[in-house]
Amino acid sequence: MMLRSAVVALLITGLPAAPAEASASWRPTWTGSLAFHERDHEIDGERAIAFDWADRETWHMLRWDGRRWKRAATPAAFRKAAHARISGPWVFGDVRGGTRGGTIHTWRVSGNRWSDHPIPGAGRLADAVATADGQAWVASSGGRIWRWDGASWARQDAPRAVSRLLAAGPGDIWALSADGKTPLHWDGGQWIETSLPGDSLPPKPKGGFSGACGSTLTEPAVEITDWATGAGGEVWASAEIRSHLTKCVGHVYTRLGDFALHWDGRQWRRVTPPAKDVDLQHVAIAASGDVVFTDDALTLPRLFLLREGRWRTLKPPRHLTEALALGRTPAGRLWLWGDLSDARERIYELS
């Protein structure tokens, strides 16, 4: 769920042709009608959330009961949150407009019962994740991070401001710097910075733009846009090569290329995209080890499957116009939350 406002997109050249298409069975599990009123979609396990900005600016939640999605009743503090996240049995939200003195609410949810374990003075929620052993991690603005040990919250601050968290296993936690350029790995006692592959980057574009953002572009750098983890602690990420306008770093940039990244246990390895003109967005990993990426480069979205080192294309659901979110089902398959051409949204299960 990252803001994208690229002003120019330069296509990669010299990449392999799109791979052969793999069969895909998309089972629709929910249809909604708020396609133009919602944003910040997230889906994980048996919960899905989205922010409705049209009328009362409130968060909605869907809950999977094993057969269908249903609208779920939620606490007022969640509905009115400025930012929200879900992960496993946890739901997170902060006070709307919260500053450094705001409260982050952290609910452990069982059925319809919500048990709140707030973090007073935490400020703005950046991201949060849960682990299989019952721990939870929360990141707020300024690099402040908390870990839930089953009874209380303890500080495990990072050396940088953080935008994303990822749980690869119990005690195996990743944090992404706010600029997307530096993944940090928790080794059980401290945060270790890792480096993204920065070789063979294109030169800085010549010229620039005029206006409030200035006319000077930064040197191109690799930035992670989304990431996911699978069995055994493996991590896959979608990444872009970006050059920002210096007065609006983080908001206005030129996209110079896209590729996938894989953490092999020692370093980040760059993986060539499956086709030309890709714009890799969301990524998710099924329990089988299949890695699925969404691609928004064309008018109609594409889906790519990476299986045992080989790329394949997945035929998207009919009438899909935008992939809003990917997530893993309770059974380890994948959810796809999509926007349809008939101004409706639908959640599919990839089986």
Amino acid found at 191: W
The model's pLDDT over 130-172, given as tens digits with 9 standing for 90+, comes to: 998 889 999 998 789 999 988 999 999 999 999 999 999 888 9
The model's pLDDT over 6-54, given as tens digits with 9 standing for 90+, comes to: 333 333 333 444 566 677 799 999 998 754 567 899 999 999 999 988 7
Give the Cα separation of 44 and 280 in Å (integer): 20
Residue 12's pLDDT is: 34
The DSSP call for residue 83 is S
Enter the tokens of residue 178: 């706010």
Enter the tokens of residue 210: 């005029």
CB atoms within 10 A of CB 177: 20
Give the Cα separation of 195 and 267 in Å (integer): 8
Residue 9's pLDDT is: 35
Give the Cα separation of 59 and 50 in Å (integer): 6
High-pLDDT (> 70) share of the chain, %: 89
Residue 310's pLDDT is: 93
Residue 20's pLDDT is: 64
DSSP conformation letters of 219-252: PPEEEEEEEEE-GGG-EEEEEEEEEEBGGGTTTS
Q: With H, G, I as helix, E, B as strand and everything else as coil, classify residue 200.
A: coil
The average pLDDT across 275-302 equals 90
Rounded to the nearest integer, the mean pLDDT of the chain is 87
Q: With H, G, I as helix, E, B as strand and everything else as coil, classify residue 32.
A: strand
Q: State the pTM of this model.
A: 0.90
Residue 7's pLDDT is: 35
